[in-house]
């Protein structure tokens, strides 16, 4: 998992300011379950939104230049090699820099959120004597607003409107770290010897409040390590891919907004799906689809408290008129996520636009009814938020679905082209009604069962008639289409047909042969322009992991395992995945880290160790 990187890096002062931070796979995540930061292999925090995942960024170098906000701590001299790892099963990141004169370890973490959001950066001297440099540029409002900064030796206070950040530096041997202004940023230098420690803290608080008191960094480190180890000890996965599964689970946990139970799809916006392209989206929100999948894997892995919290989040978010159910909500269930462009940011490697908000919020995506129903059918029935009755709400959603399932939609891939009768959407409409019927059968809630059963049969018959192409021997993208779509891999996984049905086997084979690049699965062929967007994209990692699961379920078990192990090699040095992988450029693309990729990886690992089978689809996990 922890591969050493031997990429010499120049010092911050000598380096030309980069247009962007680093390669996407060069980042690691630290977080406090309310927001998260991305730390590069060269010790620079290039992305941080405060106080929550979907607030404006105060470090946005990732999507621009160093001057759009960053915080770097690194040796002044040439770095000979860098090695990175998390401290065991935790979100505490350790980056070791080797230089000619010695070695240092940089420890980065965010303690569990109390009153404030904090980042702590500890530098420990491992060997010899190393000169270090720091540079800090705080830019609120996604790199646009230069704050008013006051410095007093080791302490810096930055204020802009409602935001206040306080940064402090402390040298265990020499006392406080002296920070000084340079241009519109703050720099400092110090020397660290073997056995010595230097620490920095960054605290965010509303500027309406008092300046926060200094933190005890060693105590915070100990409690953060304890927190993650305890959380990880609840994992029930028993298989050979434990390291990857645990890192994926922790990443999902780090992307869960603790106050509400909402789960963001990724912590970034606008990391491009192809470098220089326009397929750049904001993922710092909660998709009903992605969060439902997340819940299913968290429950598989033994995390029921998260399931209960998500259930409450969901019931509150979708409460109201079922006709107004959205595909995406804010972290607390907000409905307004208007998409706009941060025109002053050049974008990751010049990939414009940088989008804030997500226009897909207004789309009609039929599949989300199915994903939500499937997750609700598996979540513990107890502990509903008493303000919303789960059974009544589910019944209202299914009744609404019975009215609208025949309409075309934008589908799982959120196309920006015309609506169509996507096969996956119809299959998921079937799932919604099917799971609801089974829940009623089990718990006896009030429902219009005769209508639901009639609609379930109608959807099934229509998909079989219009969604399968005999010539291709495969389900296709939309009714009447001759195009393949990786979402059809899910038809067998959700139990629409048995796994050994020749039409399921035919679909898996057709996608395996016709929709892969270097063995990795594409969502669909972008050149057929179903999505209404110019340009192309990389292979979709979640779909590639669905292929692992599908191959395994149709009995091609060795091939499934080989693909899984090949995919595992795409994890970066600290086990993280973006949304996509470009096999030609051999680099990650798309938002990072992305929940869907990690979810599908976990699910495939459980499948390979026989800890998930389709038979489990309809058995609810009872409350422990």
Binding residues for ligand LLGJG24Q (CB under 6 A): 265, 281, 283, 287, 289-290, 358, 360, 412-414, 416, 531, 596
Question: With respect to ligand LLGJG24Q, which residue has the nearer C-beta, 243 or 278?
Answer: 278
Q: How far is the CB of 436 from ligand LLGJG24Q (least distance, A)?
A: 22
Cβ atoms of 376 and 357 closer than 8 Å:
no
Give the whole-angstrom CA distance, residue 457 versus residue 226: 51
| Residue listed under structure tokens 């990692």 | 541
Question: With respect to ligand LLGJG24Q, which residue has the nearer C-beta, 85 or 363?
Answer: 363
Cβ atoms of 474 and 484 closer than 8 Å:
yes
Give the whole-angstrom CA distance, residue 370 versus residue 434: 9
Cβ atoms of 46 and 328 closer than 8 Å:
no
Q: How far is the CB of 7 from ligand LLGJG24Q (least distance, A)?
A: 30
Q: How far is the CB of 412 from ligand LLGJG24Q (least distance, A)?
A: 5
* Full DSSP string of 299-349: HHTT-HHHHHHHHHHHHHHH-S-GGG--SEE-TTS------EE-TT---GG
Q: What's the residue count for the chain?
A: 624
Q: How far is the CB of 361 from ligand LLGJG24Q (least distance, A)?
A: 8
Q: How far is the CB of 356 from ligand LLGJG24Q (least distance, A)?
A: 12
Cβ atoms of 42 and 20 closer than 8 Å:
no
Question: With respect to ligand LLGJG24Q, which residue has the nearer C-beta, 97 or 283?
Answer: 283
Question: With respect to ligand LLGJG24Q, which residue has the nearer C-beta, 46 or 531?
Answer: 531
Question: With respect to ligand LLGJG24Q, which residue has the nearer C-beta, 246 or 289?
Answer: 289
Question: With respect to ligand LLGJG24Q, which residue has the nearer C-beta, 46 or 290?
Answer: 290
Q: How far is the CB of 372 from ligand LLGJG24Q (least distance, A)?
A: 13
| Residue listed under structure tokens 């799932």 | 431
Closest CA to 319 of 252, 414, 392: 392
Q: How far is the CB of 539 from ligand LLGJG24Q (least distance, A)?
A: 14
Question: With respect to ligand LLGJG24Q, which residue has the nearer C-beta, 430 or 524?
Answer: 524
Question: With respect to ligand LLGJG24Q, which residue has the nearer C-beta, 389 or 536?
Answer: 536
Give the whole-angstrom CA distance, residue 290 versus residue 65: 31
List, in order, residues 6 or more apart from 120 with CB less than 8 Å away: 107, 108, 109, 110, 111, 199, 200, 201, 202, 215, 217, 220, 221
Question: With respect to ligand LLGJG24Q, which residue has the nearer C-beta, 32 or 273?
Answer: 273
Question: With respect to ligand LLGJG24Q, which residue has the nearer C-beta, 241 or 283?
Answer: 283
Handedness of CA 52, 54, 56, 62 (dihedral sign): positive
Q: How far is the CB of 34 from ligand LLGJG24Q (least distance, A)?
A: 20
Backbone φ and ψ for 619, nearest 5 degrees, come out as -110, 115
Cis peptide before 353 (omega within 30 of 0): yes
Q: How far is the CB of 390 from ligand LLGJG24Q (least distance, A)?
A: 23
Which H, E and C letters describe 349-382, residue by residue? HHCCCCEECCHHHHCCCCHHHHHHHHHHHHCCCC
* C-alpha dihedral, 58 to 59 to 62 to 68, nearest 10°: 80
Question: With respect to ligand LLGJG24Q, which residue has the nearer C-beta, 510 or 596?
Answer: 596
Question: With respect to ligand LLGJG24Q, which residue has the nearer C-beta, 91 or 412?
Answer: 412
Q: How far is the CB of 414 from ligand LLGJG24Q (least distance, A)?
A: 4
| Residue listed under structure tokens 């919020």 | 361
Q: How far is the CB of 298 from ligand LLGJG24Q (least distance, A)?
A: 16
Q: How far is the CB of 358 from ligand LLGJG24Q (least distance, A)?
A: 5
Cβ atoms of 351 and 277 closer than 8 Å:
yes
Residue 334, both tokens: 């907000």
Cβ atoms of 219 and 194 closer than 8 Å:
no
- Three-class SS of residue 481? coil
């Amino acid at each position: 998992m922890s591969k050493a990187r031997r990429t010499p890096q120049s010092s911050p002062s000598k380096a030309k300011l980069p247009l962007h931070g680093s390669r996407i796979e060069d980042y690691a995540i630290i977080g406090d379950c309310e927001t998260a930061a991305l730390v590069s292999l060269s010790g620079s925090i290039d992305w941080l939104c405060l106080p929550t995942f979907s607030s404006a960024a105060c470090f946005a170098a990732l999507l621009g230049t160093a001057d759009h906000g960053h915080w770097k701590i690194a040796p002044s001299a040439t770095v000979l090699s860098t090695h990175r790892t998390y401290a065991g099963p935790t979100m505490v990141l350790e980056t070791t820099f080797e230089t000619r004169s010695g070695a240092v370890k940089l420890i980065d973490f965010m303690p569990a959120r109390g009153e404030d959001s904090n980042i702590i950066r500890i530098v420990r001297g491992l060997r010899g004597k190393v000169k270090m440099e720091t540079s800090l540029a705080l830019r609120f409002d996604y790199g646009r607003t230069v704050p008013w900064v006051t410095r007093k030796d080791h302490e810096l206070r930055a204020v802009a409107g409602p935001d206040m950040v306080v940064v402090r530096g402390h040298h265990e041997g020499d006392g406080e770290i002296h920070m000084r202004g340079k241009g519109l940023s703050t720099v400092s230098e110090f020397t660290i010897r073997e056995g010595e420690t230097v620490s920095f803290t960054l605290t965010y608080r509303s500027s309406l409040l008092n300046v926060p008191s200094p933190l005890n960094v060693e105590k915070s480190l100990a409690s953060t390590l304890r927190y993650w180890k305890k959380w990880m000890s609840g994992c029930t996965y028993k298989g050979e891919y434990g390291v990857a599964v645990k890192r994926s689970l922790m990443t999902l946990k780090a992307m869960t907004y603790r106050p509400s139970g909402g789960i963001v799809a990724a912590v970034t916006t606008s990391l491009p799906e192809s470098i220089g392209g326009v397929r750049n989206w904001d993922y710092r929100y909660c998709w009903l689809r992605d969060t439902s999948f997340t819940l299913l894997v968290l429950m598989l892995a033994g995390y029921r408290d998260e399931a209960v919290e998500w259930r409450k989040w969901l019931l509150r978010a979708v409460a109201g008129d079922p006709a107004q159910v959205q595909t995406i909500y804010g972290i607390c269930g907000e409905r307004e996520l208007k998409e706009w462009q941060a025109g002053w940011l050049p974008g990751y490697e010049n990939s414009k636009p940088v989008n804030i908000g997500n226009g897909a919020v207004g789309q009609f995506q039929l599949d989300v009814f199915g994903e939500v129903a499937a997750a609700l059918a598996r979540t513990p029935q107890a502990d509903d938020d008493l303000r919303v009755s789960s059974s009544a709400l589910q019944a209202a959603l299914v009744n609404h679905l019975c009215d609208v399932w025949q309409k075309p939609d934008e589908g799982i891939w959120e196309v920006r082209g015309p609506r169509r009768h996507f096969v996956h959407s119809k299959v998921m409409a079937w799932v919604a009604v099917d799971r609801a019927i089974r829940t009623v059968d089990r718990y006896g809630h009030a429902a219009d069962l005769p209508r639901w059963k009639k609609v379930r049969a109608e959807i099934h018959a229509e998909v079989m008639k219009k969604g399968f192409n005999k010539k291709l021997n495969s389900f296709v993208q939309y009714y009447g289409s001759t195009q393949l779509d990786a979402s059809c891999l899910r038809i067998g996984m959700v139990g629409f047909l048995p796994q050994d049905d020749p039409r399921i086997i035919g679909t898996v084979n057709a996608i395996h042969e016709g929709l892969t690049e270097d063995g990795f699965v594409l969502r669909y062929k972008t050149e057929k322009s179903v999505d209404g967007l110019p340009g192309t994209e990389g292979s979709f990692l979640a779909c590639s992991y669905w292929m692992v699961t599908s191959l395994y379920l149709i009995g091609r078990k060795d091939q499934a395992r080989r693909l899984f192990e090949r995919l595992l090699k795409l994890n970066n040095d600290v086990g993280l995945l973006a949304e996509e992988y470009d096999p030609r450029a051999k680099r990650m693309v798309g938002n990072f880290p992305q929940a869907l990729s990690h979810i599908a990886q976990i699910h495939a690992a459980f499948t390979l160790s026989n800890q998930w089978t389709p038979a489990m689809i309809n058995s609810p996990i009872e409350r422990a």
